Structure 1
Amino acid sequence: MLFLEQEKEKFMAWCHDISMKELALYFVSALGLLLIIFLYYDALGITGLFQWYRFGRNMGECFLLIFLTELMTGKNLLHPFWRIGYIPFFSWVLVFPYVLIHAVNGMKDPTFNHLSPYFLTAIGTLLLIFFMMNVICRVYVGRKLAASICLLAVCFFTFSAFIFLMHYAFMHIMMSPREMFFALYQPVRWFHRIVLPHVGLWNLLLMGAGLVAFVVLYWQWIYNSAYNLSPRWKKQGRKSYSCIHRILQFLVFFGCLWLLIRWLSECFPLHDYELAKQYKEYIDFIQNTRL
């Protein structure tokens, strides 16, 4: 009974430490972020935005994940730790639906059901990078390595959207498993016959230099946000060792991982990579089978 009473006291102390102003800020910021996405999808002409089965349910689940993450950590969406994930997040939210709709080989009748994997993966990406920032900020040994690990996650999601967008910008088609197959298994031929004629050497050099600058500047941003955080963002007296608090934190983190594990494999580039591998296996099977 003593343990339960102590846990109750710790949890109640944590609850009393949260003001109504903070709760309102968490609620409004999470709702505002999802509202921006809704307005963008509606402007693109995506259908199914008023159906509960997929859109309403997904929006509700993502709202709870974002709101509870803010609540459990005491950091609203304006916090520098959240900002680190905004570029990869908005890259997925903005780029993939636009290209999938406007590309010549894209969707003819876009619905949210077809785009939901990208939306849910984007939410999972934002949460994952935020959790990574919360972890690496407590590192005292190997800070540069910790910042580099976070940078890898940022680069994977950002560059995936960038490659998808550039392929559409220069070739007017989205990168499908067919293009992925040639890029993986005939890279030299694909580069000389497709990439160079459409993109050009100078554009490739400029993009390469831009990507290098992006990586360097982003690493510095991550490092400064994690280890040189302004005092205004550091709040004291918010640490709780309540088991209930820890369980809630674990559930929110598990929800983030579930979004990525469940939906990332259905998005570019992993989905296209798996299909390209199947094409290769089929061709090898035909070539090695005697009729």
Structure 2
Amino acid sequence: MKVKEIGKYFVLAVISMAVLYVWYPAVGVTDLGNWNHGLRNVLAGVIFVFAAQLVTGRSLLHSSWRPGLVIFYLWLAAFSYIQAKSGGNWGIRVETLNNDVLTLMPVLVLTFLFEYIGSLCHKARGILGIFNFLLIGYLSLSVFVYMTYYRIFGAGFTSTDMISVLLTNSKEAMEFLQSHLGFGTLALILVAFILYMAFIGYLIIKGSAAGKNGKVPSPVMVRKVVMAVLIIAALVTIAHWIPRIFPAWPYHVAHKYLVGAKAAMAKHDENLKNFKFVGGTPERLPGAVIVVIGESANRNHMKAFNPAYPVETTPWLSKEKDNENFYLLKNTYSCYPLTEKALSMALTNLNQYNEGDRNEMITMTDVANHIGYDTYFISNQAPAPGNMSLALVSGASKKSMTTTHPGGDDMKVMDYLKELPKDGSPFIVIHLEGSHDRYRDRVPPHFEGVRVEGQPEKVNDYDSSIKYTDEVLKNIYQYAKDNMNLQAMVYFGDHGEDMVRFHGDGNFTWDMIRSPAFAYLSKDYAANHPVVAGGLRKNADAVFTNDLVFDMVCGILGAENNAYNAEYDVTSAKYGLTWDKAVSKYGDVRIKEDPAQSNDD
């Protein structure tokens, strides 16, 4: 093989991947210099495409490459564009497309090699052609469905949307399509897909056809071995990654979530039959009550909680902490350094001290429903299989909403908050993405983050996410105060974060559970409920674990019930958690052993 041909193959391989780096920034994909999910993938693509050309002697311009090239570029162009637009003004990082690239890249190489083998072996041509047609057809149908969904909703299809699909019957689905598209548009899309697949079939037939003289030279043994290695590598890679892209992955998450939620709901309905208030049903507050769940927030990195911190990360809360209507719980700890395990207690009557059973869950939303509040759930996190407390809170709410791009800009929750009625008595739970790693993904490019000279970039990124959460909380508070007669607002983090070990079951550090919590009580509320306001002020410096948020919210609602205990209610004069009693990790960690504390009582 001539050096000139080898050079041509290499240049074409580079161009095939470089096309993505022209398209990506044009549609809003950022962080292209990232090695793990950007440059490394491009390099792998160049190597695979170059090797396939080299071993077969067919350049990327040959017709046998075309079926794979069509789906490769169609998929990545459509998904990158739609996901970037769904991500808001600041688009998405290239990491978001990692699974798509790692699936479509081997599809490109595999379909080409099968086309090539088909041109060598007439007997195998049919079966290999059918395989290519079905594989490309499955991926193409997925793209068409994804694009159609975007045409209707202006956002990408998520696991939350898949939950709705799985809960919809065929009649409802047809009515939905007729309402949003009309049969005319639907027919055009169907015809377009049929014509597209006919085109793909034509490309496959042409690409696997023999040469002009009816024969294709059989490759030597070394090339056959290399080709076999490439095919095996492509098949293994596709088998690993294709379940992790649309539609398989949203289906997996949604199905697992629904199975768990169904079981929890069945038991939960039984629990509610035994629920009752102590002393009669309390009156609704004359305005909004909001509970905001933070994510991976370490109060040691929050200036409002840690005045010695070298940079201002909470400008709004630092200003408001001196407001008599704000109550910072300065010694808050998470009950567990994992979201699901922490929220399974924080949102429910279960805690580390009452030995409650998971099958006996009562949520704060259940309590609000029984009082008569209009209950809402707004989330910027995709549903997570196994997080039954969130499933119960979401399922029990009058209306449950997830942002169009879960995990993106937390400020998007404001769009949904502004859709809610401004009058009445709404009870609203808002779940933020907060400071979930990667920290810089939590902050839009236009936001002025934190940059401390000499501080690791990761810490700066984390502090920037803390500062942005402070801005989001400010917006939630101000809007609700100005428009919804905000009576009370509670914020708490699910767990903390360690800058080296992050959070989790293993390698425990105290930073993983040093989480924040604060409450706002309006002047009117404090005047009408002086015992609650006084109790909260008195206990603001006491130790508090976030598994007691349920009791705290019940106290604010004035809702004593058979799932509530005043000893665990930080707003109550009977609050009884002491440093000796306080624990985390379900009793494995004793809070008084935190080296940052010197409490012996």
Task: Give the match for residue 96 of structure 1.
Answer: 79
Measured after TM superposition, the shift of residue 73 of structure 1 is 1.3
8 Å Cα contact 1:151-1:222 kept in structure 2: yes
Give the direction of change, closer, same or farther, for the CA distance of 1:233–1:158 in structure 2 (3 Å limit).
Answer: farther
> In the aligned structure 2, how far is the partner of 1:144 from the partner of 1:218?
15
1:256 is aligned, of 234, 237, 252, to 234
Task: Give the match for residue 203 of structure 2.
Answer: 221
Post-superposition CA distance 1:164-212 (Å, at most 9, x none): 1111022212111222223234232542453221111111112222222
Q: Secondary structure at the match of 2:144?
A: helix
Normalised TM-score (structure 1): 0.82
Greater mean alpha carbon deviation, residues 37-46 or residues 64-73: 37-46
1:54-73 counterparts in 2 under 5 A? Answer: 54-73=37-56
Letter in 2 for 1:261: A
Post-superposition CA distance 1:92-146 (Å, at most 9, x none): 110001100112x679551111222112222122112112213333454475554
Structure 1 gaps, min length 5: 1-17
8 Å Cα contact 1:106-1:174 kept in structure 2: no
Task: Give the match for residue 69 of structure 2.
Answer: 86
Structure whose residues are more often helix by fraction: 1
Normalised TM-score (structure 2): 0.42
> In the aligned structure 1, how far is the partner of 2:144 from the partner of 2:34?
30
8 Å Cα contact 1:99-1:106 kept in structure 2: no
> In the aligned structure 2, how far is the partner of 1:63 from the partner of 1:221?
23
Query: Once superposed, what is the RMSD of the aligned Cα atoms?
Result: 2.5
Task: Give the match for residue 24 of structure 2.
Answer: 41
Give the direction of change, closer, same or farther, for the CA distance of 1:113–1:232 in structure 2 (3 Å limit).
Answer: farther
Structure whose residues are more often strand by fraction: 2
8 Å Cα contact 1:183-1:190 kept in structure 2: no
Task: Give the match for residue 149 of structure 1.
Answer: 131
8 Å Cα contact 1:92-1:119 kept in structure 2: no
> In the aligned structure 1, how far is the partner of 2:214 from the partner of 2:11?
19
Q: Secondary structure at the match of 1:84?
A: helix
Measured after TM superposition, the shift of residue 63 of structure 1 is 1.1
Structure 2 gaps, min length 5: 272-601
Percent identity between matched residues is 20
Letter in 2 for 1:241: M
1:231 is aligned, of 212, 217, 220, to 212
Letter in 2 for 1:23: I
1:270 is aligned, of 240, 248, 253, to 248
> In the aligned structure 2, how far is the partner of 1:100 from the partner of 1:42?
13
8 Å Cα contact 1:62-1:123 kept in structure 2: yes
Larger radius of gyration: 2
Measured after TM superposition, the shift of residue 221 of structure 1 is 3.2
> In the aligned structure 1, how far is the partner of 2:216 from the partner of 2:129?
22
Post-superposition CA distance 1:66-96 (Å, at most 9, x none): 1111111111111111011122111111000
2:15 is aligned, of 32, 44, 52, to 32
Give the direction of change, closer, same or farther, for the CA distance of 1:55–1:145 in structure 2 (3 Å limit).
Answer: closer
Q: Number of matched residues? A: 269
Letter in 2 for 1:231: K
> In the aligned structure 2, how far is the partner of 1:262 from the partner of 1:38?
25
Greater mean alpha carbon deviation, residues 215-224 or residues 91-100: 215-224
Letter in 1 for 2:108: L
Q: Higher relative CO (CA 8 A, sep ≥ 6), structure 1 or 2? A: 1
1:105-116 counterparts in 2 under 5 A? Answer: 110-116=92-98
> In the aligned structure 1, how far is the partner of 2:257 from the partner of 2:171?
18
